[in-house]
A and B are shown apart, each in its own frame.
Chain A
Amino acid sequence: MSAGDRPSTGVRTLPVAKYVFTGIVTLLVVIAVGQLYLLGRFSGLYLGVPLWLWLQLAVLTAMLGMAWVATSVWTVANKERSRDGHGDDGGRQRW
């Protein structure tokens, strides 16, 4: 993972990472549902595309960004934990 992808030190600790990951995924679900109720109010066409769809594209881009952060947090926290060498993983092999 490049330096730019790496979340800050705080989320590398497992409890914080768990909260951040769960929070982002919950937020993703809320946004996925919420947009369907809210965007319909925006009518009108721009370049032949309804305004709500332009907004939905922006929302989807933000959702993808959030998903990237969530999975980065998850990946980094798990990697840090396995590097610590005291992960209770039942002797399972790691890649």
Chain B
Amino acid sequence: MVTTAQLVFGAYLLGVLLVGVYASRFTEHTPTDFYIANRSVGTVVLALTLAATVLSAFTVFGIGADASTVGLGTFSFLAIAAVFYTLFFSTVGVALAGIGRDRGILTPSEYIRERYDSRLAGTLYLGVTGVFMIALIAGQLIGGGVALEVLLDIPFRPAVLLMAVFMLVYIHIAGYRGVVWSDAIQSTVLFGVLAAVVGYVVLSLDSTAIATDAAAETEGLFDIVGPADVWSPLYVITIAIAFAFGVPGYPHNIQRYFSAADPDVMRKSGFLFAAVAIPIYLFGALLGVWSVGIIPEPENVDYVIPLVVQELLSPVVFGVVMAGAVAAIMSTADSVALTMSSMLSRDIYREFVDPEASERRQVRVTQALLVALVTLAVGLALVQPAGIFDLVAFAVVGFATTSAPVFLGVYWGRGTAVGATASLVAGPGLTILLFLEVIPGSVTMGTHYGFVGVLVAYSVFVAVSLATSTPADDTVAGHSRRFWNRAD
């Protein structure tokens, strides 16, 4: 017996697939079009695809779970970080978009390889970010699969396969254009659904009474530091900084910079992104804390937001919320899968295997790699090596530790290939050791472990670059910009 919620959810998936089919009519089978839509993406679509890519399963499930247990600090750090993202999007993003257009660069690892004139640095960047990307895709699929099993009674394995197949089809036929168009719909759905639920609680229910009940249930839930004093100012600001360096440094976000139609589009889309993402973070956090007053003892704290909706609203709305949740998951996973497969095709296959490969062949290889990567991620998701939130948080801070050669490489001509290589080993390496608790967490002295990894990655990049020979001018020229056009 198919439930109403399952029907709504199925209709949503079909809608996304149709968007992909429609987008495929405009897609050319050239790398420039298949990877970055011929650098033609406008402000609104770019902002919405950035939002959809950044707002992963963590937004729908993680924020609610965190807020319901440790308070509203999750919102504070995510919102502060989002403000700082705009500075990165408007400076580094604009510069990378221009460099990509000038030099015909399509992927982040291609930028690293050309900027440092080093195949090793480019390949290492691909390898290190690849670990985090696979973790991120697997984390998304696990999150979606478990949620669909618990909340919609769709068994875990078919649920994971269903998401993977739908995603594969629309990326395969429409490439980047299919991804960004479906992303635009997915982030709009997510925003609309969460806004509607929060609006319903405020306007139709007594949100003050609900919050008062929640505060009585968990003392200190609405305090700025939370009930367990987790959100100290030091902790909030350091995790916000780690995210501020991590999110704009996602390889899949860097690929989005290359797709911007012009510099003004890049800058404005950064601010529009913040205007969309901050309210979504807020809605998620509020529903999380209010859930304590509505469902004091949920079956599973990870799903408090969908459970609140199920408790308060009709099955149709519940189905739409689940569609929004899966939208957040698929829109992150699809972007990561396309970026990873395009990097492998362009920077491994074309660089090392077949330098004479035609454009059509490069796209075919990308499509084949896409299937292989998603299959690998599905395999990992079915094994479930770690919890979804651990995997996602690990991936986000991991990306932050790979951003030094990109961000500093854009503006600092003194950055060297050896510095980039050392940074790509030290920063992510330390982060992985802290994540696996090989190095005890106490060494971070109250800061977030990702912040320590970022600090080490940037310090190593600067120190090693200064200690090694100045790179040749013709290597740096064309792949970097002055932060200010003229040094006074």
The answer to whether A and B belong to the same complex is yes
User: A47 with B222: in contact, given A28-B84, A36-B76, A81-B486 (CB under 8 Å)?
Assistant: no
- Give complex CA distance A65, B210 in Å: 33
* Interface pair A87/B486, CB less than 8 Å apart: yes
Bound Cα distance A40, B225 (Å): 8
Query: Among residues 83 to 131 in chain B, which have CB atoms less than 8 Å away from a CB atom of chain A?
Result: 83-84, 86-87, 90-91, 94, 97-98, 101-102
Number of interface residues of B (CB under 8 A): 55
Q: Quick check: B208 and A47 within 8 Å, CB to CB?
A: yes
Query: In the bound complex, do residue A47 and residue B207 qualify as a contact, i.e. CB atoms below 8 Å apart?
Result: yes
Cross-chain contact A25 with B87 (CB below 8 angstroms)? yes
Give the interface segment out of B54-62, B142-150, B473-481.
Answer: B473-481
In contact, A53 and B488 (Cβ under 8 angstroms): no
- Asked, given contacts A81-B485, A87-B486, whether A75 binds B267 with beta carbons under 8 Å apart, the answer is yes
Contact B202 A47 (CB under 8 A): yes
Query: Would you call B352 an interface residue if the criterion is a C-beta within 8 Å of the partner chain's C-beta atoms?
Result: no
Shortest Cβ distance from A18 into B: residue: B484
Q: State whether the Cβ of A63 lies closer than 8 Å to any Cβ in chain B.
A: yes
- Is the C-beta of B48 less than 8 angstroms from some C-beta in chain A? no
What's the nearest-Cβ distance from chain B to residue A61, in Å? 9
Measured CB to CB, the nearest residue on chain A to B260 is A95
| B215 CB contacts on chain A under 8 angstroms | 45
Residue from B83, B91, B208 with most neighbouring chain A CB atoms (10 Å): B83
| A68 contacts B271, C-beta separation under 8 Å | yes
Binds A, one of B154-162, B163-171, B233-241, B361-369: B233-241
Chain A residues contacting B486 (CB-CB under 8 Å) are 14, 81, 86-89
Say yes or no: is A57 at the interface (Cβ < 8 Å to chain B).
Answer: yes
Q: Are B208 and A67 in contact (CB under 8 A)?
A: no
Let me know if A15 and B488 touch, CB within 8 A. yes
Instruction: Evaluate contact between A92 and B481: CB separation under 8 angstroms.
Output: yes
Q: Mark A57-94, 1 if CB is under 8 A from B, else 0.
A: 10010011001101100110110011000111111111
CB < 8 Å neighbour of A14 from B94, B290, B488: B488
Within the complex, which residue of B98, B210, B286 is in contact with A94, where a contact is CB–CB below 8 Å? B98
A3 within 8 A of B: no
Other-chain contact of B485, A60, A70, A87 (Cβ < 8 Å): A87
Q: How far, in Å, is A78 (CB) from chain B's closest CB? A: 5
A64–B212 CB distance below 8 A: no
Nearest-neighbour CB distance to chain B for A53, whole angstroms, equals 6
Q: Chain A residues near B207: list those with CB within 8 A.
A: 47-49
A23 within 8 A of B: no
For B286, list chain A residues within 8 Å (CB). 48-49
Residues of B within 8 A of A86 (CB): 486
Query: Chain B's interface: helix, strand, loop or mixed, by majority?
Result: helix
Closest to B86 in A: A67
Across the interface, which residues of B come within 8 angstroms of A25, CB to CB?
87
Residue of A nearest to B202 (CB): A47
In the complex, which residues of chain B have a beta carbon less than 8 angstroms from the beta carbon of A63?
80, 83
Tell me whether A33 and B233 are in contact (CB under 8 A): yes
List residues of chain B with CB within 8 A of the CB of A70: 87
A88 B487 Cβ-Cβ under 8 A: yes
Whether the pair A53, B75 counts as a contact (CB closer than 8 A) is: yes
The residues of B that contact A56 with a CB separation of less than 8 Å are 76, 79
- Residues facing A in B219-255 (CB within 8 A) are 222-225, 233, 236-237, 240
**Interchain CA distance A67-B89 in the complex, whole Å:** 11
**Contact assessment for A91 and B488 in the assembled complex, using a CB-CB cutoff below 8 Å:** no
A 15-59 binary contact with B (CB < 8 Å = 1; else 0): 101100000010010001100110110010111111011001100
> In the bound complex, do residue A40 and residue B210 qualify as a contact, i.e. CB atoms below 8 Å apart?
no
Task: Verify B485–A89 contact, CB threshold 8 A.
Answer: yes
Cβ contact within 8 Å between B201 and A64: no
A48 touches B477 (CB 8 A): no
- A87 to B210 Cα, complex, angstroms: 60
Q: Which of A32, A50, A86 has the most CB of B within 10 A?
A: A32
Nearest CB of chain A from residue B193's CB, rounded to whole Å: 19
B245 to chain A, nearest CB (A): 14
A-to-B contact residues, CB < 8 Å: 1, 14-15, 17-18, 25, 28, 32-33, 36-37, 39-40, 43, 45-50, 52-53, 56-57, 60, 63-64, 67-68, 70-71, 74-75, 77-78, 81-82, 86-95
Beyond A32-B240, A74-B91, 9 additional pairs, beta carbon < 8 A? A14-B486, A36-B237, A40-B225, A64-B274, A67-B83, A67-B86, A67-B90, A75-B267, A88-B487
User: What would be 27 A-B contacts, judged by CB atoms less than 8 Å apart?
Assistant: A14-B484, A14-B485, A28-B83, A28-B87, A32-B83, A32-B237, A33-B233, A37-B233, A40-B223, A45-B222, A47-B202, A48-B202, A48-B207, A48-B211, A52-B224, A70-B87, A71-B90, A71-B91, A71-B267, A75-B90, A75-B94, A81-B485, A86-B486, A90-B477, A92-B477, A95-B98, A95-B102
- Which B residues are within 8 Å of any A CB, using their own CB? 72, 75-76, 79-80, 83-84, 86-87, 90-91, 94, 97-98, 101-102, 201-202, 207-212, 215, 222-225, 233, 236-237, 240, 262-264, 267, 271, 274-275, 278, 282, 286, 290, 473, 477-478, 480-482, 484-488
The 9 closest A-B CB pairs, nearest first, are: A48-B207, A95-B98, A48-B211, A36-B233, A40-B224, A71-B90, A81-B485, A87-B485, A50-B222
